[in-house]
Amino acid sequence: MANASYLLGTHSAELERLRFQHQLWRPMAEAAWRKAGVAAGQRILDVGAGPGFAAVDLAQLVGTSGRVLGLELSHTYVKQAQREASGLPQLEMRQHDLHHDPWPSERFDLIWCRWVAMFLRNLEPLLAGLAQCSQPGSQVLFHEYVHWDTFGLYPHGAAITRFGQACQASFVQAGGDPDVNRRLPTLLSERGWRIKGLQPLPVAGNAASMAGRWMQRFVQTYSTRLLELELWTTNDQAEAEAELAEAANNEGSFWVGPTVLEVWAERRQTS
């Protein structure tokens, strides 16, 4: 898949949206990493590393005695991540197509994967890659959506509800699964992983909150793509913009995000 077909795009507005998104979700990522015991000297694989924001954080945690390898489809994002990684020799970014390119021959202590599986047409290459890059005792952490329908703006957000439905349609149209974490725990268990924890990660807030601003930015940046896909209309856009304006002036309005499920698993010991 070329950069041009990257569903959410790799343009500057999307890059800055991802930066803000990482700031919002960073505390939840760090809590997951602490749970998994991330420490100096460990080897970590970041699958679908994007512009490298999480990979940089992980590289700082493992230090120069550790190693972080980020795999990312987009050449644009790999270059951005390499700039972000300046001064971190323990971090390597590599352009990689999860469907077609050979996975690394290395073994890692932890594999981190956030908002990647939901975009994959076929999960088998990902599951095979996890097996190849792990060993008994290795851990994997997924942050993926489990219930996209919780996305909404309340109490007056009919157009925003339609926007959420159009988003899901676009993911499915591209071959993905917006609620992929309804399937992943079972698939992991069937392939030799012991599920250590499942935790929902909901976000909500008014228009001025980080959560609210994150969801507003997504509406503003992704609506253009939905128009191109003919899943959204200019009338829809006008209604959504009016709802955003109303929410900004109404302290009683609030956003609820699509629900993420954290899946934490460990590779079983072989008998």
Question: Which CATH number do you get for residue 226?
Answer: 3.40.50.150
Query: What pLDDT is stored for residue 5 in this prediction?
Result: 53
**Which has the closest alpha carbon to 198: 149, 150, 120, 144?**
144
Query: What pLDDT is stored for residue 176 in this prediction?
Result: 96
Confidence of residue 10 (pLDDT cuts 50, 70, 90): low
Number of domains within the chain: 1
Across the range 134-151, mean pLDDT stands at 98
- Residue-number span of the structural domain to which 243 is assigned: 3-267
What whole-number distance in Å separates Cα of residue 252 and Cα of residue 166?
A: 26
Length of the chain: 271
Say what the pTM is: 0.93
Cα dist from 97 to 2, 49, 83, 126, whole Å: 9, 12, 21, 10
State pLDDT tens for residues 181-233: 999 999 999 999 999 999 999 999 999 999 999 999 999 999 999 999 999 99
Q: Does the pLDDT at position 6 exceed 80?
A: no
What whole-number distance in Å separates Cα of residue 195 and Cα of residue 264?
A: 6
* Per-chain mean pLDDT for the chain: 94
Q: Does the pLDDT at position 180 exceed 90?
A: yes
Q: Does the pLDDT at position 62 exceed 70?
A: yes
φ/ψ of 120, rounded to 5, equals -90, 135
Query: What pLDDT is stored for residue 199 in this prediction?
Result: 98
State pLDDT tens for residues 77-105: 999 999 988 899 999 999 999 999 999 99
What whole-number distance in Å separates Cα of residue 61 and Cα of residue 88?
A: 11
Across the range 156-178, mean pLDDT stands at 97
Query: What pLDDT is stored for residue 9 in this prediction?
Result: 59
**Which has the closest alpha carbon to 193: 246, 156, 145, 138?**
138
Query: What pLDDT is stored for residue 1 in this prediction?
Result: 36
- Helical segments of 133-233, H only: 158-173, 184-190, 210-228
